[in-house]
Every structure is written in structure tokens, then in C-alpha cells.
Amino acid sequence: MVQIMPLNDHWIFTKTNNPTYVFESIQDGQSVTLPHSWNDTDGQGGSEKYFRGQCWYQRILDISHEDLTKRIYLEIGAAGNMGHVYVNGNMAGESRCGYAMFRVPLTPYLKEGGNLITIMVDNGYDSTVFPLMADFTFYGGLYREMSLLVMDEVHFDLMDNGRDGVYLTQRKISPETFELDVHGQIVNESSVLKEGSLQIQVRDEAGKTVLEASSELALGNEAKFSIKSEVANPILWDGVDQPYLYTVEVSVLSEGQVCDSRIIAIGFRTVEATTEQGLLLNGKPVKINGVCRHQDFAGVGNAITKTHMDEDMALIREIGANSLRLAHYQHDDYFYSLCDRYGLLVWAEIPFISIPSTKDPENHNAEEQLEKLIKQAYNHCSIYCWGIQNEITIAVETEQTYKTIRKLEVLAKHLDPNRLTVQANINGVENNSIINSFTDLIGYNLYYGWYYGEIKDLQDRLDEFHRAQPKIPIIVSEYGVDTNPKYHSYTPQVQDYTEEYQLLFHQNALETFDKRTFVLGGYVWNMFDFGSANRNEGGETGKNLKGLVTIDRKIKKDAFYLYKAYWSKNPFVHLAGRRFVNRHQEHNDIVILSNLHHLKVYLNQTLITEINSREPMKIVKDVSLIAGENCVIVEGTDEYGVIHTEEIVLHHAAEIDRNYIHVKPEKEKNVVNWFEKFDLSNAETIELRDGYFSTFDTIEDLYSNEEAKAVFLKYFEHVTNNPFFEVTKDVISIEKMAQLTFYNIPPELIPVINKELNAIQK
């Protein structure tokens, strides 16, 4: 029978990159317990650069004489981003999928007594391993749990890239009945053919057996199995309202003994996507009230524990979200289990993000990561779609990229014909682009009113998309604004990083989605601030600040309560602006976020108004404050007559409090106006000649000619140290750079550059 033993403690870790550790003890190491990441601080702004490279972990594993009669595997939750496993000096296994679990068979290399296990983990740049470039920290480390699996000779196939070695497929076959197909493969590691059987037992939440089935098996080296049964009238897994789970116990028996078994949760449900009614869960329309989540946390990087994950789930449930985009890679299996348990519909995805491989045109690693994601997360009923790319056309859009996206879609359907496929496009992808025909669903990451355009442009873009693609269901796969809760304003504006701007932005998005059935819903970017080591913005280093909650999960920004007011059924009241204490204006709007409809508002113990409104955001206009302290209290009464109250103190001061204003560092200001030194006054479009350089060539091509390189550097020397530029220069052109707000290239500059480049022969 299988034994699973945690192997998280007694590891020695070092950043000294010394290949002799494959067979020699680490001398200069420190003792660590998994999960562990070496970027716990520098990956979140703790220093200017974060450490990327090869580090080493080592441990002694004691093996008894009896253990040697078993089959022993190492199960590594993840190695970020690549890992090599050595046992007593022998290479035993590797991973190039930094977000997936992997297993290594140890038995061939083990001896009785102490065994040296060494794992080299590498988070350096590899042009064939995704992600190559993204707006988040590529934390290095053995950042998930590790276990030792001690197996009988006969066991489920642990090495098929899957998690359980057993797959549960459910399909509705009549109005009352689901088909349950339990399938997979058993491996017999002895050289003897054995007789055996497979048994399944399905139990409801009360533990009552609702189905039993079995089949006889001849256990050769490998034996495939599939037991199809019918489950009549199951209680449905119906999202957050009723996440009902059955359990399936699957056992393999040989010679009267259970050799291996799994207990897997399953929820019976159907999911369809339509443009007429939106997403249908069990035939009923459900608007996607979603948030995105990255997996890291302040102070630990991505080396999070179950306690961190429980805390995240509690906050996600508190706002009343019904769906999650678990971006931009495979998350811990435990987190998908939490989603099963609490009924959240999940968009799961791989890090085929930003740019395709610069060295492997086939992008094999994306396929590898997709296969692992699908096989390892297959049994989670919460997952409704597989995401196969995110903004992959940011720097270059070619036939080759299309080919890969199509290939990934075919692979997803092959591995799992019963789930939907989806992509998250950058806004620049044309509504009628061929990309939009590649997957069942289309997502767009839309940052109108932050990186470009105005808040209200969101509506128009979605309507235009629908006119162009009336048959394609669309999801707003990301939208959000960086917000530092210490900044405040009476007149919130784009890029001011205030809590007030975040409220405006999200209020508009919520109204926009609610009014449009063809929009399946949206995913806030992001539920939590997250580590993005190369960022330095909005008064913080190393973090993306678009969260509704700060990276330490300590501050719920006002926008958190806006969502709660829209989505949650748990009665509450919240007064926005509690951190905007010092008010230099006498007249102030009091903003209340609440899902209650009858409210009373008091200022300095005097009732100033009663509100009867179903709006989630209620505003009491022009409340005049007295000099000094003012106490504002809101009281809301729920349907049971229970009173919910909140209080804030506002200080009316004569002077504006400058701490509330984000002042951009001088350096940034210069970067913003970098083009002013060039004369753009008489820029005219020129007819481009073939055989000469132009803004359509990649930077790599420009660099191949000294003259063309000099022209490029004349205009863009200031970006060449940027990590984003570094990674994209092989594939990006000046034309494409001009589409990215990041480079801030005025359109008039393009013909000016072309005049110079097009004079240089190739």
C-alpha cells in the first residue's frame, strides 16, 4: 500500500553555484525548510535587482533494507523555474516547467543507509522556457511541498505527468444522468504478470455509497483501465451557491490486497458559453464576477503554505467572487481543491505569455506546460476553461505564433475534450483578428483609463468587439489600476495612484459588464498586489499595485468593498476614504459602500441623512465638516433588523496634506519627455523602399548593421538597459514598440526615424 511522507525539512541551501555538489556535501549552506524561495525579499522590491541564477539544495535520505524492496519516488511540488535532481551523484530527473509538480523515480539510485539527494534549481533566463518575460517576479526555489512516495510494485502510473494517475471524466448524457468514466493506467514494476482488479466506490457528502463498480485486470507492465458508470440524479456542483462534492475511491487490488488507491473529489456540473445568455452553469446563466490571483505573498515570495492559501480564499470569498483566473501559470493543487470546495469557477492557464520563444520556433515548452497543467489539474471540477496564452503578441505577431496557439488549442482539446479553451489578448489585437477564431472563448486585457484612453472607452471597445464578432463570447480577462492606499485626491486622475481613482475605474467596469449579456464577465487585475521585481511605481518598488488588497493582505483598499457591495450577500457597511483623514476642503462627499438598502448617516452624533437605495455605492454630497476632528458613522439595517455600523474620523485642516500626493521621481519625468530633444515639426510620411532598413525591421536586424544600429541608439539608447527591452530585442520592431505605452513613442517620430533608416541599404 502506498505511503506518502513529507520531505520538507533538513534541507541545506546555498547560492554558491558549484557543480561538485552533485556528489559532494555543501559546506557553506544554510538550513531551510520547504517551501522555500531565495527571492522572498529581493523579489518584492527589497533590493534593486533580484537574484536569478543556479542555487543548490541538499539533504541526506535514510533508506532501510525494507525500503529497498519498495518502489520509491520523489514528488516535488515545483522547482522555480528549472530543476535537476541528483541521487548519489547520478542525474535522476529534471523539470523545465516551473509551476508544475514533477516526480523522480529514486529506486535505481538508492542504497541502504544515507543517500545524498542534491537538487539544482535555476531561475535564470532560458530562451526556451516560459515565461521569458512578464510583469511578475520569477521567484527561484523549491517553493512547494515535497514528499517521498513509497509504493508497491503495482501502482497507478505516477509518471504520466498527471497527479493521481487516475482521471475522472463526467459527461451529462440525459436530463437526470451523468456518465462517470474512471480511466488511467496501472504499472506493474515486477517482472511477473499478475491478476488484479480495479474497484471504484462513489460516496456522497454524508459518506453514503451511491455507486460501486469493478473490473478484472491482467496486470502486465502497463494496464490501461476505464470503468464507465452512470450516476442518476446527482446533487449538482452548482458554483458558490451549492458546491456539492462526491468522492470517488479508486483502488487497484492484486492477490486480494489493495496495492494502491486514491480518494478524489468530484462535482457533477455542465458549463456552456453563449453570447445570448452568457456563461451557463448547469443550464443557468452566471455572470462571471471574477478576480485574478498571483500566488505570492509578502515576505515569503511564492513559497506559500496552506495557511496563506486559506487566507487568500477567505478574502476572495469575502468579496463574494464566483470565479477566479489563476494567473499566469499552474497554481498549487491545494488551491484548485479550495476552489472545488467553495464553488469558484476557475480559469487555469500556462505561462505562454508576452513573447514566444526566441530560440525554439515550435515553443515546445508551452506544450509541455499545458500537458502538465491539464493532466495534473484534470480532476478539479472547478476548472471550466484552459487558458493557452496571455498577451503573446505584445512584441511580435507572426504566423509562427498563430501556429503555436492553434497547436496548443488542439492539444488542450485532445487531452480534455470536455472543457472550454480561452486566450487573454492584449488590447491591440484587432477585433476581427484571426486569433479570435482559435479558442472557444476570448478574453481581452483592457486597461482603458490606465495605460491608454479613458475609463469610459471600455464600453465602446466591448460594443465594437460584439459588432465585429457577434458569435464569440467575450470575457474581460484583466482590468485594473495601480493604487497605493496612502495616496488620496478630491479630483482623482489617471496615474495618480489614489484609492479614489481605483474606485471610479472599477465602478465603471462593473456597470459596463452588468449591462452587457454578451460579456460573460470580468476578472479584476488583481485581487492582491504582487511581486514584480523590475517595477518602481506609485511610491513602491518591486510590486504591481493593482490589487484590491495589499501584498501583505493587511489593507483592503476601498475598491475591495465596492466589489463586496456588488457581489456579496453578507450584510455590511463600509465608509470609503478612511485613510484620507486630513481633509483640506470644508465640503466633502461621503462615500458608502454597502449591500444594505436602508442606511442612516451621522456626523458628530447628529443624523444628517437617511438613505434608501439599492445602489452598491451611495454618496452623501457636500457634507460640511467643522474644523478639527469629525466623526462619521453609518448604520445599516439588514433584512433581519440587525444593525451594521462603521465609523471613520476625518480631520478638517486648513492646508492640503501633501503626503497624499504621489510625486513622480525626477528620473521618471525625464523618461516621459525623452523625445523632446528631437525636431518633430515637419515629420512627413515617406514611401518606404524595399531593400533598405525601416521601423518594421526587428531591433536584432537593425543591430546587424552598424549604421542602422546607430540610428536606433540615437533615439532609443535610454531603453536599452531595461529588462523588457533586453528580452524582446530579438523579435520586436520600432513599429511594435510604438504600440506599447511603455515606450511612449509619439507617432510623428516614426516617419522621422524612417527617413534615416530607409537611407541605409540592407
What is the contact surface with ligand GCB in residues (CB under 6 A)? 134-135, 328, 390-391, 445, 478, 525, 544, 546
Indicate the residue among 237 and 465 with the shorter CB distance to ligand GCB: 465
Q: Where are the alpha helices (DSSP H) in 224-363?
A: 306-319, 333-342
Distance CA(294)–CA(546), nearest Å, equals 12
Residues in contact with 226: Cβ distance below 8 Å, sequence separation at least 6, in sequence order: 181, 182, 183
Shortest spacing between CB 312 and ligand GCB, in angstroms: 17
Q: Where are the alpha helices (DSSP H) in 246-385?
A: 306-319, 333-342, 364-377
Shortest spacing between CB 495 and ligand GCB, in angstroms: 13
Shortest spacing between CB 450 and ligand GCB, in angstroms: 8
Shortest spacing between CB 672 and ligand GCB, in angstroms: 17
Distance CA(603)–CA(267), nearest Å, equals 50
Indicate the residue among 479 and 518 with the shorter CB distance to ligand GCB: 479
Indicate the residue among 118 and 436 with the shorter CB distance to ligand GCB: 436
Angle 693-694-698 from CA coordinates, rounded to 5°: 90
Shortest spacing between CB 505 and ligand GCB, in angstroms: 13
CB distance 620 to 592 below 8 Å: yes
Shortest spacing between CB 458 and ligand GCB, in angstroms: 14
Shortest spacing between CB 373 and ligand GCB, in angstroms: 17
Tell the residue number behind the cell numbers 538508492, with chain if given: 110
Distance CA(104)–CA(190), nearest Å, equals 18
Tell the residue number behind the cell numbers 492539444, with chain if given: 411
Shortest spacing between CB 74 and ligand GCB, in angstroms: 32
CB distance 128 to 359 below 8 Å: yes
Shortest spacing between CB 135 and ligand GCB, in angstroms: 4
Tell the residue number behind the cell numbers 502538465, with chain if given: 372
Indicate the residue among 352 and 693 with the shorter CB distance to ligand GCB: 352
DSSP-derived secondary structure for 32-48 = E-SS--TTTTGGGTSSS
Distance CA(252)–CA(260), nearest Å, equals 5
Distance CA(136)–CA(530), nearest Å, equals 7
Among candidate residues 605, 606, 585, 590, the one with its CA nearest the CA of residue 651: 585
Distance CA(131)–CA(357), nearest Å, equals 9
The C-alpha cell at 495 is 496615474
Indicate the residue among 2 and 740 with the shorter CB distance to ligand GCB: 740
Indicate the residue among 134 and 648 with the shorter CB distance to ligand GCB: 134
Shortest spacing between CB 251 and ligand GCB, in angstroms: 43
Indicate the residue among 530 and 712 with the shorter CB distance to ligand GCB: 530
Shortest spacing between CB 44 and ligand GCB, in angstroms: 14
The C-alpha cell at 717 is 539608447
H or E, element range at 500: helix 499-514
Distance CA(571)–CA(12), nearest Å, equals 49
Shortest spacing between CB 296 and ligand GCB, in angstroms: 12
Indicate the residue among 85 and 134 with the shorter CB distance to ligand GCB: 134
How many Å separate Cα 174 from the centre of its chain? 35
Shortest spacing between CB 293 and ligand GCB, in angstroms: 12
Q: How many residues does the chain have?
A: 762
Indicate the residue among 21 and 525 with the shorter CB distance to ligand GCB: 525
Indicate the residue among 251 and 544 with the shorter CB distance to ligand GCB: 544
Shortest spacing between CB 509 and ligand GCB, in angstroms: 15
Shortest spacing between CB 280 and ligand GCB, in angstroms: 27
- Long-range contacts from 173-180, C-beta under 8 angstroms, 24+ separation: 173/230, 176/232, 176/233, 177/230, 177/231, 177/232, 177/233, 178/230, 178/231, 178/234, 178/268, 179/228, 179/229, 179/230, 179/231, 180/211, 180/228, 180/229, 180/230, 180/231, 180/248, 180/266
How distant, in Å, are the alpha carbons of 316, 675, 713, 745 from that of 717? 44, 12, 5, 13
Shortest spacing between CB 544 and ligand GCB, in angstroms: 5
Indicate the residue among 84 and 546 with the shorter CB distance to ligand GCB: 546
Tell the residue number behind the cell numbers 449579456, with chain if given: 517
Q: Minimal CB distance to ligand GCB: which residue?
A: 135
Decide: helix, strand or coil at residue 492.
Answer: coil
Q: How many CB atoms lie within 10 A of CB 603?
A: 20
Omega of the bond leading into 526 within 30 degrees of 0 (cis)? yes
Indicate the residue among 328 and 644 with the shorter CB distance to ligand GCB: 328
User: Strand 345-349 relative to strand 11-14: parallel, antiparallel, unpaired?
Assistant: unpaired
Q: Is 550 left (phi over 0), alpha (psi -120 to 50) or beta?
A: beta
Indicate the residue among 135 and 145 with the shorter CB distance to ligand GCB: 135
Indicate the residue among 483 and 594 with the shorter CB distance to ligand GCB: 483
Shortest spacing between CB 186 and ligand GCB, in angstroms: 41
Distance CA(428)–CA(534), nearest Å, equals 23
Indicate the residue among 136 and 178 with the shorter CB distance to ligand GCB: 136
Among candidate residues 407, 244, 417, 273, the one with its CA nearest the CA of residue 340: 244
Strand order in the sheet with 90-95: 30-32, 11-14, 54-63, 113-122, 82-87, 90-95
Q: For residue 521, give the amino acid letter.
A: G
Q: Is 232 exposed, middle or buried (0-12, 13-18, 19+ CB in 10 A)?
A: exposed
The C-alpha cell at 297 is 505573498
Indicate the residue among 331 and 618 with the shorter CB distance to ligand GCB: 331
Among candidate residues 598, 623, 621, the one with its CA nearest the CA of residue 610: 598
Indicate the residue among 289 and 445 with the shorter CB distance to ligand GCB: 445
Bridge partners of residue 631, in order along the sequence: 649
Distance CA(485)–CA(501), nearest Å, equals 11
Distance CA(500)–CA(154), nearest Å, equals 61
Q: How many CB atoms lie within 10 A of CB 591?
A: 18
Indicate the residue among 109 and 479 with the shorter CB distance to ligand GCB: 479
Distance CA(625)–CA(657), nearest Å, equals 16
Shortest spacing between CB 329 and ligand GCB, in angstroms: 11
